[in-house]
Amino acid sequence: MQIEMRFKCNRLELPIHYNHMIQGFIYKNISNRDFREFLHEEGFKNNNRRFKLFTFSRLIGKYEYNKEKKTITFIDNFNLVVCSIIDDFINDFVKTCLFSENLYLNNQKINLIGVDTSRESNLGERIKVTTLSPIVTYSTVSIEGKKKTIYHSPEDKIFQKHIKENLIKKANAIGEKIDNDHFEIKILDKNKLKENSVYFKDIYIKGYSGTFEIKGNSKLINLALNCGIGAKNSQGFGCIKLIK
C-alpha cells in the first residue's frame, strides 16, 4: 500500500539531510509497542538478512533553501509518501497521526490534514515508474584489509542484478513463493538520470533518481512499488511511484 500524507506546518526548518528525522517520526508514531520494537530491532528475516519492508519519499512541497545554514524550510505545507507491503503497519501509523494533537518533526509542530491511499491492482508485467527518493544499490569489498562500499549506477549491469536479488529476498522474508524470477529494470531517459549524495546521520550514501521501466514477475513488481526498490529502504531510499 502507498499513502500520501498532507501536512500543515508553519515554516518547518530541516537540515538538508533529514532522512533520519523522517524515519524517527515514523517509528515514534507506531502505537503498537511490540510491533514498533519488532520492526526497529528485528524486521522480517531471510537467512542472515533483515528487511523492514517499508520506505518513504523525500518531502514534497515548496521550500526555501539556506545555503549558509544548510537547511530547507517548508513554508506552510508538505507531503510525505509512505509505502509498505504490511497493511497493519500503514494503518497503525496513519491512525496514530490522524488522532494525535502532538505531532512534531525536528521539534516543530505539524498537523496531518489529509491522506490519499493508493493500492494498485492488475499491474501486469510491465510498468513505468518515477523515483520519489533515490534508488541505492551497492557492494562491500575489502581493499588492503579495509572494507569499502561501492555504489552502483543504473548504467552498471550489476545494478539490475542487485535489485532483482533484493526483491526475491524480500519476497522470501514474508513467505511469498516466487515461481518466475524474471525481472528487468532500465532507465527511460538517461539525460534525466540524477546522482544523489545523501548523509544518513554521519553515513554517506549515494543513490540515483529518474524514470524507469520495469518488466517481469508481477509479485516482484508489487513488492517494488509497496516496500521499496534497492537497498536501505527504511532509511528513505528506493521509494517509487507508478506513472499512469
Instruction: Assess whether 100 and 139 both reside in one domain.
Output: no
Judged against a pLDDT cut of 90, whether residue 135 lies above it is answered with: yes
Instruction: Assess whether 114 and 135 both reside in one domain.
Output: no
Residues 79-116 pLDDT 10s: 999 999 999 999 999 999 999 989 999 999 999 999 99
What pLDDT is recorded for position 187? 96
Q: What DSSP character marks residue 57?
A: P
The residue count for the chain: 244
Instruction: Assess whether 95 and 145 both reside in one domain.
Output: no
Say what the pTM is.
0.94
What pLDDT is recorded for position 178? 84
Judged against a pLDDT cut of 70, whether residue 121 lies above it is answered with: no
Q: Which of 75, 100, 118 is the last residue of a domain?
A: 118
Instruction: Assess whether 192 and 114 both reside in one domain.
Output: no
pLDDT band at residue 73 under the 50/70/90 scheme: very high
Q: What DSSP character marks residue 185?
A: E
Instruction: Assess whether 78 and 131 both reside in one domain.
Output: no
| Separation of alpha carbons 42 and 23, rounded Å | 15
Q: Which of 118, 138, 163 is the last residue of a domain?
A: 118
Residue of 235, 237, 241, 233 whose CA lies nearest to 212: 241
Check which CATH number belongs to the domain holding 90 and give it.
3.30.70.1890
* pLDDT, mean over the chain: 94
Instruction: Assess whether 111 and 135 both reside in one domain.
Output: no
Q: Could you list the residue range(s) of the whole structural domain that residue 63 is in? A: 2-118
Residues 144-202 pLDDT 10s: 788 899 999 999 999 999 999 999 999 999 988 887 889 999 999 999 999 999 999 99
Residue of 239, 188, 211, 243 whose CA lies nearest to 2: 239
Compute the average pLDDT of residues 44-73.
Answer: 94
Contact 1, 87 (CB under 8 A): yes
Check which CATH number belongs to the domain holding 178 and give it.
3.30.70.1900
What pLDDT is recorded for position 143? 82
Instruction: Assess whether 98 and 140 both reside in one domain.
Output: no
Instruction: Assess whether 108 and 141 both reside in one domain.
Output: no
What pLDDT is recorded for position 224? 95
Residues 21-41 pLDDT 10s: 999 999 999 999 999 999 888
Instruction: Assess whether 134 and 28 both reside in one domain.
Output: no
Q: Which of 57, 85, 118 is the last residue of a domain?
A: 118
Instruction: Assess whether 25 and 82 both reside in one domain.
Output: yes
Task: Please tell me the total count of domains within the chain.
Answer: 2
Tell me how far apart the 2 most distant CA atoms of the chain are, in Å: 54
Residues 106-116 pLDDT 10s: 999 999 999 99
CB atoms within 10 A of CB 55: 27
Residues 192-235 pLDDT 10s: 999 999 999 999 999 999 999 999 999 999 999 999 999 999 99
Q: Work out whether strand 63-66 and strand 2-8 pair parallel, antiparallel, or are unpaired.
A: unpaired
| Separation of alpha carbons 173 and 43, rounded Å | 9
Q: Give the H/E segment covering residue 108.
A: strand 108-118
Burial of 99 (0-12, 13-18, 19+ CB in 10 A): exposed
